[in-house]
């Protein structure tokens, strides 16, 4: 008997991943409109060093923009929480690593269930001053999607393998705008060691966001790494190996050698 309810079809290459290794777990959270592919290379790099790496697919991502439009920021946080709970059942220590919106979700997780450490990559933390921002939810009824701008990659081969939606869901974008101030309000409560990584060449989330993070984070142990030669997606673009090595060194420092 069929129920008439069909499961969303996941785009090829957008599946979640899990590398089972040692007792230190790394939860890698992708950004808005993206998929676990955005953090897959970083996860593989950490796994090669003996760390367990999990990259969940956030609700509404990796299927269709229609699915994304129906999700809300608590749905994305629930997806991240599911990943956190899975790692807690298999690991002794967990480090959270989030890209862009994934960084916002990591901040909220770090407040309620402090991990061993936190890595925030290309994370937005202040709202865009556009006057349209407050009208996004209503605007979504007339303009359901917003086309993305031209690519600004330093490594064109990375662009060719990217798996993400070609446009933004206007309704879901409004949810990101609701999520940002919640994450910012939580920053003073984040007391775990934190590494902030941002590109000086990021024109989507300007480097000033990293400065705000460093100022408002409650952690005493907080470090900032500014890189060159990458766009917003620093886990994929030309300087990704520098990001991977910095993240690995941080995980080792806060959680110890893989075992």
How is residue 10 annotated by DSSP? P
- Determine how β-strand 145-147 pairs with β-strand 222-227: unpaired
pLDDT in tens, 17-73: 999 999 999 999 999 999 999 999 999 999 999 999 999 999 999 999 999 999 999
**Where do the structural domains in the chain lie, given as residue ranges?**
17-255
Q: Distance of CA 80 to CAs 29, 56, 97, 155, 212, Å? A: 7, 7, 11, 29, 24
Give CA torsion, residues 15, 70, 29, 238, to 10 deg: 80
Give per-residue pLDDT as tens, 84-127: 999 998 999 999 999 999 999 999 999 989 999 999 999 999 98
Look up the CATH number of domain 17-255. 3.40.50.1820
């Amino acid at each position: 008997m069929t129920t008439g309810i069909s499961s969303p079809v996941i785009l090829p290459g957008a599946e979640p991943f899990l590398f089972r290794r040692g007792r230190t777990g790394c939860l890698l959270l992708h950004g808005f409109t993206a998929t676990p592919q955005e953090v897959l290379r970083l996860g593989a790099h950490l796994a090669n060093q003996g760390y367990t790496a999990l990259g969940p697919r956030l609700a509404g991502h990796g299927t269709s923009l229609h699915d994304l439009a129906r999700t809300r920021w608590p749905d994305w946080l629930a997806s991240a929480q599911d990943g956190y709970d899975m790692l807690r059942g298999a690991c002794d220590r967990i480090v959270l690593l989030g890209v862009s919106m994934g960084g916002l979700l990591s901040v909220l997780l770090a407040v309620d269930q402090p991990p061993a450490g936190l890595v925030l990559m290309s994370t937005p933390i202040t709202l865009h001053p556009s006057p349209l921002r407050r009208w996004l939810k209503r605007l979504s009824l007339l303009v359901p999607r917003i086309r993305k701008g031209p690519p600004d990659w330093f490594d064109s081969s990375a662009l060719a393998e990217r798996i993400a939606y070609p446009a933004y869901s206007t309704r879901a974008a409004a949810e990101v705008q609701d999520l940002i101030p919640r994450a910012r309000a939580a920053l003073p409560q984040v007391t775990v060691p934190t590494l902030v990584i941002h590109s000086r060449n990021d024109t989507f989330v300007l480097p000033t966001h990293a400065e705000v993070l460093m100022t408002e984070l409650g952690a005493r142990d907080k470090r900032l790494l500014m890189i060159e030669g990458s766009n917003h997606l620093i886990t994929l673009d030309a300087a990704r190996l520098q990001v991977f090595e910095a993240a690995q060194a941080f995980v080792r420092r806060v959680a110890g050698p893989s075992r």
